[in-house]
Every structure is written in C-alpha cells, then in structure tokens.
A and B are shown apart, each in its own frame.
Chain A
Amino acid sequence: MSLSAARRPDSPAPPGRLRRFFTWLHPRRGLQLRLLLAGPIGWLGVVYLGALAILLLNAFWTKDSFTGRVEPFSWTLDAFESLVTVEVYRTIAVRTVVMAFLVTLTDALIAFPIAYYMARIASARTRGILVIAVLMPLWAAYLAKVYAWRTIIQGKGILEWALAQFGIAGPGLDEIANTWLVLSYLWLPYMILPIYASLERIPGSLLEASADLGGRAGATFRRVILPLVFPGVVAGSIFTFSLTLGDYITPDLVSDTKFIGNVIYDNSSLGSLPLAAAYSLLPVAIMIVYLFVARRLGAFESL
C-alpha cells in the first residue's frame, strides 16, 4: 500500500515525516523490493524453516522414558541409534520407497495415454470435458475419497461383490495392495496435468518433420515425443513420489501396513518425539536427492 502511494504523485499528501521517507525511498528500487519481500520471506524463515529446525533439534534430544517428556538441549544420538539397530525401521523405509516408486510408475503408465489423448487427439470440446474430469477429484476432500475407497474395498463392499462373480475372495482391509491402489488413484491427476502440459507444448511441426524424414509412428514417439515429454513425467513424479512418501492416513484406513509416516505419527503422538523427528529426516533426505535428480532431468522447466 505504501509503495503504491509513493508511486502515484496525485495521491493525497501523507504527513511530513512519512512523505519524506517515501521521497527518500522512491529512487531506491532494491530497498523497495527487500521491504516488499521481508514479510513473506520472514514468514517462510520463521514458521517453515523454524519448525523444521526444531524438528531437527528434537532428534538429538533425550526423552524421559517414563513421563515421555523431551528434555531440550540434552544431546544424545539414541534416536538415530534405534533407527539403525532396530531392523523394523529399515524394513518400513524400504517398503515406503518401493511403494512410492510403484505408485509413481503406475500413475505414469495410466496418465500418459490419457494425457496424450487429451493433448493431441481429442476435439477442443472433449478436451475441455476431460480436463474437468481430471481436475474434479481434486475438488473433493482427501478423506472423503479415501473413505469412499474404504467402503468399496471392505467386506460386503462392491469389490467383494464384483469379485465374487468370478469366484474370487475380496481383499478385505488388511492388504498392502489396497494402499497401492488408493494412492495411485489419489495422485493420478498430479501426474496427468504436467504430462498433458508438456505434450501440448510440442509443436506439430516437429512431428511433421519427423514424418517427412521417414519416421514411423513408433520412431516418432520414441525419438521425438518421449524425450520432449520426459521432463513432464519427472515433474509429475515429484508429486506422486513425495506424496506417497509422506502419506500415513491412507495406509492406516485401507490397509494394516505401516509406512514411514505411520511410524512418525505413532511416535509423535504416542511414544518418542525424538525418534519421530529422527525418522522424519529420512524422507526429507530422500526428497532432497530426488529433487536434485529431477532438476538435472529438466523437470522444473516443465512444471
């Protein structure tokens, strides 16, 4: 507000001191920018990075095993020692990463044909309808979607009924595959949209050129389309991968299997905050590596 006031010479004159300040500020473009950004960056620093810093510190503090209280500044590596020595934490970490890969792969395989049809084949009208259809699930609440799946999967549900027609028993609510199914469903739009965007950006002339040079459909796809779309797939995978890595509600509601998020949740609300903090650094580290690789693959340009 103050900046816009300074820019408009015909605005009513502010009181003397303020006026002098704005006159002084007017030519100092750099300072103006810093003042403008001080708020949001301060917020990011204090609220976001500050919270992360406290989380990080908790991982190095001791906890009274009887009362459950964390003693600040009582340095120890106990939490990390548990993570390394107790096998289950490794099992769960591997399981979570494998699940994140599986969900990402599934989404990429499903999303590509849909996005391709939307971007290059469908008429403008169909495309509009499809874009809405892809976006629509994002308007519904996360929990509503997971519970919808829960009712589909659980006993006496529609899936059990449908499978019974072929003489197959329903999965019930304790199958790890449920998590894969529901997470793949939940994150699918996040994969379709970046792929769709990169497909749409490919100029038609490139495909014509490929055909002119004797490229058949397969060769054009492999050597023209795929390399151009790949950064979009990687961009989409950032969402599917990181969202799966951190999700704990879906595994809890549709299966009986523990993932990294479940252990962090269990320990932060029930047991040991230091252990939860130490364990939560693992997905952070994985994502830092993932984002670094994704940037190398050009994913950030196609977001």
Chain B
Amino acid sequence: MKRQGILGMLAAVALVAAACGTGASPKPSLDMPSAIGEAEDELNLIIWAGYAERGEIDPAYDWVTPFETETGCKVNTTEMGSSAEGVQLMESGQYDGGSFSGNATDRLMASGTVDPVNVALLSNYANVFEGLKNKAHNSKDGVAYGVPHGRGPNLLVWNTEVVTTAPTSWDPIWEDGSMYSGKISIYGYSDFIADAALHLMQTDTDLGITNPYQLNEAQFDAAVALLEQQRDNGAVYWASYSDQVGGFAAGDLVVGTTWQFQVNLLQAEGEPIEAVLPDEGSTGWSDTWMIHKEAAHPNCMYLWMNHMMSAEANGMATVWFGEAPTSQQACDFAETLSPGHCELTHATDEAYYSKIWYWATPRADCGDTDANTTCKDQDAWTEAWTSLTGS
C-alpha cells in the first residue's frame, strides 16, 4: 500500500510536469507591439561572450551602463558557448532575448520561440545596411524576426614564435596538422563539421558539396574522416573562449580556429598571436538580437535592440568583438576607436561575405524543397561529434 502511494505521487508529479510542458504550442503569432511601453526594471539576455560589456576589462568599452542609466533596465547576461546551448537556454523561457547566430535563429523561428519584431518602432533600424535586412536567418515571410548585431568569419590563429611564416590557407589545421601535434586548437562543437566540409569543397570536388551545412551521407562521412585525421594529429577542442585564450597564453596551443575576440584579448596581453581569414574562405556568423515571445520585459528588450543598432553601442561592440558593424553611422563611430575597422572587417563588402558560410542548422531535408535529397540532421552531427571527441 505504501508503494502505491509513492507511485501515485510520482504519476501526479509527472502529469503536472507534462501539463506545463505541453502548454506552449509552436504557433507563430504576428502580434507585434504597436508602441514601446514604459520600460520595465530588468532585462535578461543570452549573449555571446563580449556582446554586453560594462567596461570591466577596458573602461573605454562600456555600452551596457549608458543603456541602464538611460532606460532604467538592469541588464543581466548569460553567455552561451555554442548556438545549441543558446537555443536550449532560450527554450527555458527565463530570458527576454539574446544575440543568436544563424544556426540558432532558424531553429528559434521554426519552433515559434521568438516573436517578429516591429522594426518601425526602432529608430536606428533605418540606418542598418540593406544587405543585412530580411535575410533567411533573421526573417520569415518577409517579416523581421530580429535586428542585426554584426557579422564576421571564423579565423585561423597561430603563435608567431612557432609558426614563423604567416599561413594563408587552412592547411596548418588539416594536412599539415601533424607538425603541430597536440597543439591544434579546434572549436569544440559539432558545428565545426561544416569547416571540414568547407575544406573538402576545395580539396575533393568529386564529393560535390555545395553547402557545408547540408551534407548527404557520403559527404558527411568524408568530413568526419577528415576530422578523425585531425583528432589523431592531436587536436585540442575548446568549449569556451577562455579555454582557448588560456591555452595560447600558456603555449599549450600554437595554431587553431578562433574568433577575432580571442585574438584581441591575447594581443592585448602582448602574446605573439596573429589571425587571418584564409584564402579558401571560412564559416562565420551573422548575429541577430531576437525577442522571446513570452518575454517578461518586452519594452526593455525593444529598447535594447534599438540601442544595439545605435552608432555608439554597435560601433563599440563590433570593435570589441572584432566583427563588422551594421550601419554607416556605427562604422564612423568604430573608426574613432579603431581606425580602419570597417575596411578590416569588410563591413560593406558583400562580395567578401559571399565567401563566408554563415552558421546554419543541418536539416534532414537539406533545407531545400527537393524531395530526392536527404541530408544528415543536427542529431547526426551531434552524435558524430560525440563519437569523434569521445573515443
């Protein structure tokens, strides 16, 4: 009888949990606010490292405090290490929004977790480069689902004391990897399979890879085989930017894939570190601030989205992270902090960004309408990554 009591209690708990779980149906609503109301007192954001600075590392880079002073919205941030983690955090419903890359935005829009944004309410939106608006990764059916933050490529990084000739291709992490055995720093998430596929697009044209994120079985297997070779060459996988910064600073790592952000941090410490976008092109990101459909502080989120498109905030943030600003005004401001920033990051150069494959989610239907093609989906990528790094 006692046992039945416990089982009954468990069942009741499960039912309650299930009822809570099924409450959210993925039906997109086009209920956009027609005005920004009075600011709430708080704002909870999911961010990439370095996307919300308070001047704690360098007092010159602070775009959170001015926002808090102006709006009264106290900003709380949570960093994501990868897009998949960002999606998971956003699904928890405890955040008002965040800065997401393409392989999170597509999933968030498809699941109805985020709301469309009434860009007419955002005064700075008009200044944003047209080339960044209404793209597949930030809109659906011609309706904006967020506002651009910045874009950039994943880079090749090296220690100039060990790698004395500056590389111009990705070879140091692939074919020549055995030269740097145990000191190759690789992004530690399944998204990196796309980088292997991108390399194969150049070196093994027979495979016929046209999109490094949508791979059929043969293409996928070839990419994984390349990654296994890299692992056996002694790849060290980084899960957070600080892992990588620490490793390069200690000399445990000498070559790898990185973001401009880590390069800036290491160079600021005087470490002998350089980075480049190799000739073959690269994977990269074009990030978007999105709002949760049940955001507890929607007005603060709208104010934040507008703030992050302002010349000062966007200029500072993109210089800080080392990515391309989203408007001419932000470019002009960025130049005052770091001369030549906009040219360096090719802010207006669409031809340059055509070489960059923005992060996207692998899909079973290959993300196209052709019913004859099937691709490896995200689960297959995650599983292959576990097998790669776990055995």
| Chain A neighbourhood of B387, CB < 8 A | 86-88
Partner of A256 from B10, B85, B237 at Cβ < 8 Å: B237
Q: Identify the stretch in B140-148, B212-220, B378-386 within 8 Å (CB) of chain A at 4 or more residues.
A: B378-386
A68 interfacial by beta-carbon distance below 8 Å: yes
B247 interfacial by beta-carbon distance below 8 Å: yes
1/0 per residue, CB under 8 A from A, across B1-26: the answer is 00000100110011001100110001
| Chain B neighbourhood of A262, CB < 8 A | 390
| Chain B neighbourhood of A198, CB < 8 A | none
Is B110 in contact with A66, judged by CB distance below 8 angstroms? yes
Is B382 in contact with A88, judged by CB distance below 8 angstroms? no
Is B383 in contact with A46, judged by CB distance below 8 angstroms? no
Partner of B87 from A63, A68, A172 at Cβ < 8 Å: A68
| Minimum Cβ distance to chain B for residue A77 (Å) | 15
1/0 per residue, CB under 8 A from A, across B326-347: the answer is 0000000000000000000000
Partner of B111 from A69, A157, A174, A270 at Cβ < 8 Å: A69
| Chain A neighbourhood of B364, CB < 8 A | 65-66
Is B13 in contact with A46, judged by CB distance below 8 angstroms? yes
In the complex with contacts A65-B378, A270-B84, A258-B390 CB distance below 8 A = yes
Is B91 in contact with A69, judged by CB distance below 8 angstroms? yes
Is A46 in contact with B236, judged by CB distance below 8 angstroms? no
1/0 per residue, CB under 8 A from B, across A40-59: the answer is 00000110011001100100
Is B383 in contact with A270, judged by CB distance below 8 angstroms? no
In the complex with contacts A66-B363, A67-B111, A88-B386 CB distance below 8 A = yes
B250 interfacial by beta-carbon distance below 8 Å: yes
Is B107 in contact with A88, judged by CB distance below 8 angstroms? no
Taken together as a complex, chains A and B put the C-alpha atoms of A262 and B364 apart, in Å, by 26
- Interface-centre pick from A66, A91, A268 (highest chain B CB count, 10 A): A66
Taken together as a complex, chains A and B put the C-alpha atoms of A73 and B17 apart, in Å, by 11
Taken together as a complex, chains A and B put the C-alpha atoms of A238 and B383 apart, in Å, by 32
- Nearest CB in chain A to that of B365: its residue: A66
| Chain A neighbourhood of B237, CB < 8 A | 256
In the complex with contacts A65-B377, A68-B88, A271-B379, A73-B18 CB distance below 8 A = yes
A154 interfacial by beta-carbon distance below 8 Å: yes
A72 interfacial by beta-carbon distance below 8 Å: yes
B82 interfacial by beta-carbon distance below 8 Å: yes
- Interface-centre pick from B190, B237, B390 (highest chain A CB count, 10 A): B390
Taken together as a complex, chains A and B put the C-alpha atoms of A208 and B226 apart, in Å, by 69
In the complex with contacts A68-B87, A69-B26, A267-B382 CB distance below 8 A = yes
Task: State how many residues of chain A have any CB contact under 8 Å with chain B.
Answer: 43
In the complex with contacts A57-B14, A72-B22, A65-B88 CB distance below 8 A = no
In B127-146, the 8 Å CB interface with A consists of none
A188 interfacial by beta-carbon distance below 8 Å: no
Partner of B250 from A82, A88, A157, A174 at Cβ < 8 Å: A157
Taken together as a complex, chains A and B put the C-alpha atoms of A69 and B6 apart, in Å, by 29
1/0 per residue, CB under 8 A from B, across A260-278: the answer is 0011001111111000000
In B174-219, the 8 Å CB interface with A consists of 182, 189-190
| Interface CB pairs A-B, < 8 A, 24 | A45-B6, A46-B9, A50-B9, A50-B10, A50-B13, A65-B364, A66-B107, A66-B361, A67-B26, A68-B91, A69-B91, A72-B17, A88-B390, A88-B391, A91-B390, A154-B246, A154-B250, A155-B247, A156-B250, A173-B247, A258-B386, A263-B390, A269-B88, A270-B382
3 residue pairs, one from A and one from B, having the closest CB atoms: A67-B111, A271-B382, A50-B13
Query: Interface on B for A, CB 8 Å cutoff?
Result: 6, 9-10, 13-14, 17-18, 21-22, 26, 82, 84-85, 87-88, 91, 107, 110-111, 182, 189-190, 234, 236-237, 239, 246-247, 250-252, 361, 363-364, 377-379, 382-383, 386-387, 389-391
Since A49-B6, A50-B10, A65-B378 are in contact, a sample of 19 more A-B pairs with Cβ atoms closer than 8 Å, ordered by chain A residue number, is A50-B9, A50-B14, A53-B13, A53-B14, A54-B17, A65-B379, A66-B107, A66-B378, A67-B110, A72-B18, A72-B21, A86-B383, A86-B386, A154-B247, A268-B88, A269-B84, A269-B88, A270-B382, A271-B84
